[in-house]
Structure 1
């Protein structure tokens, strides 16, 4: 049986889409007989035709993501939106650079390439922001060693 007319009329009256109109399966014959808006209004009053509740977006995926973020996951630079410095801040960039330089400097001291006094001097230069990269530091140490010989 085709109830598309009744569904369309009910949707208009209820102010919802046709997909949200519910018709009682027990009373299909009564609904089929209803062909005017007045008939449909009567069926709505009797509870034979109703509007289904509105569906909202599921928060299940959000909840899972939120739990992961509480654990510190999905917080890396690849997940960050925004400009250059909101991904990796200037401070973080500085920390990464300084740590790499100090690690390299330690290696030179452990190998005995530089003296403890030179180590301290270069350490302070790193803190002062003299070197832009590990390559620049290596070059400086190479020149320092060549000068000594």
Structure 2
């Protein structure tokens, strides 16, 4: 009967990947990022060092542009560079406002 095909072995039941594939597609589109889907803290998801590096690189790039365009002198550039390293400026706009108000 086995050789005749009347009796056959049942396939083992496994875990379906359908939901996992669907979720992966959605994540690729940038979905599933809401509050209910987050496990780690704000700092675990985007570390404070990474945030700092992103901010300081933008500020330093703008500072160099300002120096090259002669909006600030070399002495002012050095002072502003040190201030930015100390965390004085929140973002690039804050730096620009500071320079604008100081030159008036």
Tell whether the structures are fold-level matches, with TM greater than 0.5.
Answer: yes
Q: Distance in 2 between matches of 1:128 and 1:137?
A: 13
Structure 2 gaps, min length 5: 18-27
Match of 1:127 in 2: 85
Match of 2:21 in 1: none
Q: Return the structure number with greater helix share.
A: 1
Q: 1:52 aligns with which of 7, 10, 26?
A: 10
Length-normalised TM-score, structure 2: 0.67
Q: 2:46 aligns with which of 70, 77, 88?
A: 88
User: Per chain length, whose mean CA-contact separation is higher, i.e. which structure has more relative contact order (CA < 8 Å, sep 6+)?
Assistant: 2
1:119-149 Cα shifts (integer Å, max 9, x gaps) = 0010000000001111110011112211xxx
Match of 2:4 in 1: 26
Structure 1 gaps, min length 5: 1-22, 29-48, 60-73
Q: Return the structure number with greater strand share.
A: 1
> Would you identify which runs of 4 or more consecutive aligned residues in structure 1 move more than 2 Å?
23-28, 49-53, 55-59, 78-83
- When the two structures are aligned, how many residues end up with a matched partner? 88
Q: Distance in 1 between matches of 2:73 and 2:90?
A: 22
RMSD, aligned CA: 3.2
